[in-house]
Structure 1
Amino acid sequence: MTKHERAPGPYTRHVAETIRDLRVRAGLTTTEVARRITEAGRPTHKSTVSRIESGTRAISVDDVAALAAVLGVRPAALLPADVPADPCAAGRHSYDSREITGPGPRVCNDCGHIEDLESED
């Protein structure tokens, strides 16, 4: 991991495990999943699928949609059902100081969550 990369958080790990579990249950290899995603118009290599499943590669919304289609589920099925409104507060994460980031939402130092300004008083 480079100094600018973050370790995968609990949601990334959940998505990665769910993708792997669904792929194995469907009897598909990472090569087959990559081929099907590529055929659907999103060129993907088997190592990309493996890295997503291990949590070592960030996964985009486009990745989630493509993987869900190949695995025969809705994209929401890959996500945890119990995502708290503020995952950082639940996980005791820390936000950057307002002095550093200026006005507007802050970004969590630990998981990248963007602060929800709607809930502030």
Structure 2
Amino acid sequence: MSLLVENTGREVLLSFGRTVRQLREAHEWTQEQLANRMSTAGYPMHQVTVGKLETGRRPTSVGEVVALAAIFEVDPGELIRFPSAGDGDDAAMARMRAQQELRELDHRIDRMNVELDLLQERRAEAAAQLARAEAAEARSVRPAG
């Protein structure tokens, strides 16, 4: 293997690891939490494995790249940067973080809308119960005469 290919491969692994770490931190996950998500996705990992991956000390399979992309909800190509990417890395990471933030907020809004619907149904049921109770009370309280 030529020195150029070897160095390029190493740089790609380092860049990949940095990207994974940045995305993990953007999600506020520990290495252990990411390892658990990977294990659930069918790629058993431990915290130490994630640490090695993030520092470029562990090669990664295509399947693992695809699983990580799915976990982070990004395109697999966004995880792999070649050395020529240069200054665009910061802008690309900012874009990925903003996209992730929007996705997370959309998910939270969806969950809140579901909860709001449930609360509105419960309120309508409680109002109906109150109306029935008031009607029953009105029927039972009759003026003496």
TM-score of the two chains, using structure 1 as the length reference: 0.58
Structure 2 residue 28 is the aligned partner of structure 1 residue 66: no
Structure 2 residue 8 is the aligned partner of structure 1 residue 14: no
Q: Any idea what the Cα deviations from partners look like across 1:83-116, whole Å, max 9, x if unmatched?
A: 69xxxxxxxxxxxxxxxxxxxxxxxxxxxxxxxx
Q: Any idea what the Cα deviations from partners look like across 1:46-71, whole Å, max 9, x if unmatched?
A: 11111000111111111111111112
Structure 2 residue 40 is the aligned partner of structure 1 residue 34: no
- CA separation in 2, counterparts of 1:82 and 1:29? 27
Larger radius of gyration: 2
- CA separation in 1, counterparts of 2:13 and 2:84? 12
Q: Which runs of 4+ in 1 moved over 2 A?
A: 81-84
**What do you get for the CA RMSD once the two structures are aligned?**
2.2
SS in 2 for 1:57: coil
AA at the equivalent of 1:34: A
Task: Please name the residue that 1:45 is paired with.
Answer: 46
Report the CA distance between 1:10 and its aligned residue: 1.1
Report the CA distance between 1:18 and its aligned residue: 0.5
Higher-helix-fraction structure: 2
- CA separation in 2, counterparts of 1:73 and 1:65? 9
- CA separation in 2, counterparts of 1:37 and 1:21? 16
Report the CA distance between 1:41 and its aligned residue: 1.6
Contact 2:35 2:47 in 1 (8 A): yes
Identity in percent: 33
Structure 1 unmatched ranges of 5 or more: 1-5, 85-121
